[in-house]
Structure 1
């Protein structure tokens, strides 16, 4: 479990790194868009090869399908609640919904890392890269908005430190759950994470990458997919 926590902290560390970069200076929209595109491509590859593929193998089609549905619905309604709450905020609340969104994304992503360790597969480099890269633009964008809205830099960094810690701990949660549950449940958990991530990708990450990065975001997405696919280890 200690090893899973270490790799979970490595994956989540890009959240606090992005927050630090965001409070340090403003970043060009195009650069953020290209990073978003790369991260989206890496996540698509991880969903295909690591989550859906592994979930089907260990749990079969129905647990995977049920997990996909549950994850998609959970993220959809949680994300809508965050958007409604964020719409009522002003000033210093700017950027906070992005931080909550990163938390909603990060927990299932990191739990899957822990599941891989519990199954004796070690760290998934493809998923690790996807999580690390996709975290950066969320934390950079959120911290930039919060500082621009008047939130003190120390408060911004403290918030992202908490988010980073929770996401890292989710890795040990996935590890513990997989150690005491049947393979069908593990397949459903893989599906849950995949469903949540697919909704996030289609609803926000890919459109935002295109809006900020322009046409080059498509190339960055393919590059991210290629890198993560190359790092995937066939089971």
Structure 2
């Protein structure tokens, strides 16, 4: 399979986990505490991937300063964009409870939630394409981390969308569209940086990593803590260990 097609395929597959989580939540009434525990696990998985597969590898390949600058830039851009979307009704887009506003309560919130979900998913997809640039193959640990974390993201957010009265067409249109865009983002990440310097690749990788960590702190961890805070830390630790084990097995 051509490498560019691999980038498109893996990005779409990882984004497809959002559709899987959404379908599970739409057709079955999953208790909020179960959603919270799954979200905790997904957060731990992503934190491990950030530490061992993205930031560490970026620093080793491109140096500390490009990595640090990119990481901070990614966090700043994400937080700024997220703050703007929160004002439009997307603040609780990953919440499984009844906190998501309906379109009647907050006109335009549906669009804001869709854009917010896209904002959350793009950095994860870009790093898959960058992995092909840096190593010639997608990192199994990063792919597993993105896929595993996307399932609870889609699951939790869809539960909230249902309670806000949004239609099946809207819900699956959002997640299906994001899955396709995720594949395109991975492809763009690969095609645009094939001849880039190692410093630039490190900067872009760290930028995505910073955005992902900011996303975790702003959206996933609050949902995980809200419903089942007594076990959030333990389940997140299990998720971290799972991703770390995958990382070590691939080395």
Q: TM-score with structure 2 length normalisation?
A: 0.86
Aligned to 1:91: 102
Q: Is the 8 A contact 1:72 1:192 kept in 2?
A: yes
> Mean Cα displacement is larger for which, 21-30 or 46-55?
21-30
> Mean Cα displacement is larger for which, 65-74 or 173-182?
173-182
Task: State the Cα RMSD in Å.
Answer: 2.2
Asked whether 1:4 is paired with 2:15, we answer no
Aligned to 2:247: 232
1:80 aligned residue (63, 79, 83)? 83
Offset of 1:143 from its aligned partner? 2.2
1:1-235 correspondence to structure 2 within 5 Å: 1-86=4-89, 90-92=101-103, 97-232=112-247
For residues 44-64 of structure 1, the C-alpha deviation after alignment (integer angstroms, 9 at most, x for no partner) is 111111111111012111111
For residues 163-208 of structure 1, the C-alpha deviation after alignment (integer angstroms, 9 at most, x for no partner) is 1111121111111122021111001011101111121222332232
Q: TM-score with structure 1 length normalisation?
A: 0.91
Tell me how far apart the structure 1 counterparts of residues 102 and 46 of structure 2 sit (CA, whole Å): 32
Offset of 1:33 from its aligned partner? 0.9
Tell me how far apart the structure 2 counterparts of residues 20 and 167 of structure 1 sit (CA, whole Å): 18
Aligned to 2:96: none
Give unmatched runs, 5+ long, in structure 1: none
Offset of 1:99 from its aligned partner? 4.0
Tell me how far apart the structure 2 counterparts of residues 129 and 95 of structure 1 sit (CA, whole Å): 29
For residues 17-52 of structure 1, the C-alpha deviation after alignment (integer angstroms, 9 at most, x for no partner) is 122122213321111111111111111111111111
Q: Is the 8 A contact 2:90 2:109 kept in 1?
A: no
Q: Is the 8 A contact 1:98 1:142 kept in 2?
A: no
Give unmatched runs, 5+ long, in structure 2: 92-99
Change in Cα spacing, 1:202 to 1:54, as seen in structure 2 (3 Å) is same
Give the SS at the match of 1:91.
Answer: coil
How many residue pairs are counted as aligned between the two chains?
A: 235
